[in-house]
Amino acid sequence: MIDKKIISAEEAAGLVNDGDVVMLGGFLACGSPLNLLEALQKKGTKDMTLVCNDTAFHNAKTGEMTGVAPLVLNKQFKKMVVTHIGTNFETQRQMNAGETEVDLVPQGTLAEQIRAGGFGLGGILTPTGVGTEVEKGKEVIEIDGKKFLVEKAIKGDVALIKARTADKAGNLIFDKSARNFNPLMATACETVIVEVDEIVETGALDPECINTPGLFVNYIVLTKGAK
């Protein structure tokens, strides 16, 4: 298997262009590639569409932020497709002020839309949201007397994901619950960049423990300070 290119966080940020659809792994910044986000913030890439579980934490009183929150504050996203924004004051403010478009999606639905994108499907059928605000503007199909919403697949230009360990071929092992959306997003984007805490030789990982095959990974970034 061909080894993947190991690059710096700054080089990785250079692969993300203005206007790209960026999928970001993580759940309230757990399992998010923090070094990649820092580099992308400094680069100032703009007009991106963020696909992520959430927009992490931004404390309105203290100004403390985690994960993707500094990029939100910089207004680097023209649209955010997320499952909730309750922990980020700035995302709420931008949405209410009409400065950013926020598409709130049920969590399971978002995961399945990304999975559909990665598996080459056109979309999914789900009963979640039928008869609610979620249904507005969407096609409804009835099967065996039960209504389902048609939710289209989501694909991205770049996936920024986080794993614990990669071998040089890009095979990945995630760290417990930090796995979350990361494996799904690795299948659904044209370019996949993974930040890892450890890089080992190809063949050193037990194949039974690999969560994402290197087939899906394009570039590897070693977390700052890791060996």
Kindly list the structural domains of the chain, giving each domain's residue range(s) and its CATH number in brackets, ordered by start.
5-222 (3.40.1080.10)
Q: How far is CA 31 from CA 44, 95, 112, 128, in A?
A: 22, 25, 19, 26
Whole-number percent of the chain with pLDDT over 90: 96
The owner of tokens 């979309």 is 123
Confidence at residue 225, expressed as pLDDT on a 0 to 100 scale? 74
Question: What average pLDDT does the segment 122-136 reach?
Answer: 96
* pLDDT tens digits, 11-59: 999 999 999 999 999 999 999 999 999 999 999 999 999 999 999 999 9
Q: How far is CA 68 from CA 20, 58, 72, 91, in A?
A: 16, 10, 7, 11
pLDDT band at 1 (very low <50, low <70, confident <90, very high): low
Terminal CA-CA length for the chain: 23
* pLDDT tens digits, 42-51: 999 999 999 9
Question: What average pLDDT does the segment 74-93 reach?
Answer: 97
d(CA 49, CA 42): 17
* pLDDT tens digits, 148-183: 999 999 999 999 999 999 999 999 999 999 999 999
Confidence at residue 224, expressed as pLDDT on a 0 to 100 scale? 87
pLDDT of 200 over the 90 cut: yes
pLDDT of 227 over the 70 cut: no
Cβ within 8 Å of residue 222, ≥6 positions away: 6, 195, 196, 197, 199
Confidence at residue 94, expressed as pLDDT on a 0 to 100 scale? 97
pLDDT of 66 over the 70 cut: yes
pLDDT of 111 over the 70 cut: yes
